[in-house]
Amino acid sequence: MSKLNCIIIDDELSGRIVLKELLSLYFPDISVQGEAGNISEAYDLILNYKPDFILLDVQMPGGDGFELLKKFESIPFEVIFVTSFDKYAVNAIKCSALDFLLKPVDTEELKTSIEKVQS
């Protein structure tokens, strides 16, 4: 299997660290190309690195994850939402999200989500 590239987008540093550690521990074939704490940084990273998938928080300063996705005419990567708020699940589905995980992230649920990206 070829290496998959990922960008982690979350305004909370601790959230980014946890996701990066889980990916490193369970998915050594995934390369985290970058991390962003807001929509502007995330957009630039996505344009520069063209990831296979992103792990995307919803609520962030300066805009939410849905606003980030609206910047793309078509979304050329898979999206896994990672948020503390289940009320965003319907919007995530409407945005064609591959999956929706609630914080704190359950390791088995993350594994299932990553397997969807890999298939």
Enter the pTM of the model. Answer: 0.93
DSSP letter at 58?
S
For residue range 58-86, what is the model confidence (pLDDT) as tens digits?
988 888 999 999 999 999 999 999 988 77
State mean pLDDT over 81-108: 86
- For a pLDDT cut of 90, what percent of the chain falls above it? 79
pLDDT at residue 92, rounded to an integer: 79
Give CA torsion, residues 16, 21, 26, 27, to 10 deg.
60
Given pLDDT bands bounded at 50, 70 and 90, which one contains residue 1?
low
